[in-house]
Amino acid sequence: MKIGPTEIVDTFAEAFRMRYTRLLVTALDAHWLDAATRELCGYGSSVIACDAEIAVERPLPPDQTPDQRPGALVMAFGFSTDALAKALPKRVGQCVMTCPTTAVYNALPDAEEQIPLGSQLRYFGDGYQKSKVLDGCRYWRIPVMDGEFVCEEQLGAAKGVAGGNIILQGESQRAALDAARRVSEALAPLPGVITPFPGGVVRSGSKVGAKYKGMVASTNDAFCPTLRGRVESQIVDGAECAYEIVFNGESEEAVGEATRVALAAAAGEGIPAVSAGNYGGKLGKFHFRLRDYC
């Protein structure tokens, strides 16, 4: 299979069922919104070691937010609803409530599961906090040094799909980087999809397990160009660099569409092949066969 000059390896990406939440962060202007979301999404690339996989889904203009201010939808993924219930109040309390002018709203109000947010953060108000119910939703107003921090009492949580991916291989690092940026930029507008790694790109792709005790994951040696001749390499002839693009989505359909968009954006001159990461189909229930998305 080929897209232009690029071979699409006949393999599949293996993805997993995870829980996700979606919150809407607003602020006075783009500067403070960016400051809040950057902090909120820090150290949020992989649940191998992070408390959540979290990134901005997409920006919202003021006419689409509850308080008529610039906003950003943020999605966070975890292994369980309980894990999200531990991670999100801490992240919002430390990274958003501390940022000037911000507010936080529930962007999954109809989800069957709910996790606490304002109901925990309210205690920071030391008894001076106030609440109000509007259209069936409770909002907390917590006094802070520039006025009040407003947030909803709860965030919705739902079933999502995490770990969709492609692995692109370039003739050079420059070619691979250019392709990786094309993919990241093409995925950015998709609704219901995030790329939680830095710039949307994974340099240190992993495999399950390791030879060292206590390590649940280790370097994906099959895609390390410097290990050719020492391992069973999956780097094709003519390739000298590989990058993985990982994307999580609100549904199997969202991740499938992200796979299609990623393949189309990755292919081109200087990219001899695009593959995907999987574990032999033994761990994740969702298998995205690349040939179905060409």
Domain spans, the chain: 2-15+161-293, 19-158
Q: Pick the closest to residue 73 from 18, 36, 19 (CA basis).
A: 36
> 3-state DSSP call for residue 228?
strand
Only one residue has tokens 């079933």, namely 159
CA–CA distances in Å: residue 215 to residues 14, 46, 50, 183, 223: 20, 15, 15, 30, 19
Residue 161 makes CB contacts below 8 A (sequence gap 6+) with 15, 16, 17, 18, 248, 249, 250, 251, 252, 254, 255, 286
Only one residue has tokens 């549904």, namely 251
Please count the CA atoms within 13 angstroms of the CA of 14 that sit on its side-chain side. Answer: 12
The pTM of the full predicted model, rounded to 2 decimals, is 0.95
Q: Are the beta carbons of 241 and 169 closer than 8 angstroms?
A: yes
Please count the CA atoms within 13 angstroms of the CA of 271 that sit on its side-chain side. Answer: 30
Class of domain 19-158: alpha beta
Q: Pick the closest to residue 148 from 133, 130, 161 (CA basis).
A: 130
118, two tokens: 């304002």
Amino acid (1-letter code) at residue 232:
E
* Residue 240, number of CB atoms within 10 A of its CB: 16
* Residue 211, number of CB atoms within 10 A of its CB: 6
> What does the DSSP 8-state code read for residue 90?
H
> 3-state DSSP call for residue 198?
helix
2-15+161-293: in CATH 3.30.70.520:
yes
- In order, the DSSP letters of 232-294 are ---PPTT--EEEEEEEEESSHHHHHHHHHHHHHHH-BTTB-EEE---STTSS-SEEEEGGGG-
Per-residue pLDDT of the chain (294 residues; tens, 9 = 90+): 999 999 999 999 999 999 999 999 999 999 999 999 999 999 999 999 999 999 999 999 999 999 999 999 999 999 999 999 999 999 999 999 999 999 999 999 999 899 999 999 999 999 999 999 998 899 999 999 999 999 999 999 999 999 999 999 999 999 999 999 999 999 999 999 999 999 999 999 999 999 999 999 999 999 999 999 999 999 999 999 999 999 999 999 999 999 999 999 999 999 999 999 998 888 899 999 999 999
Rounded CA-CA distance 100/205 in Å is 36
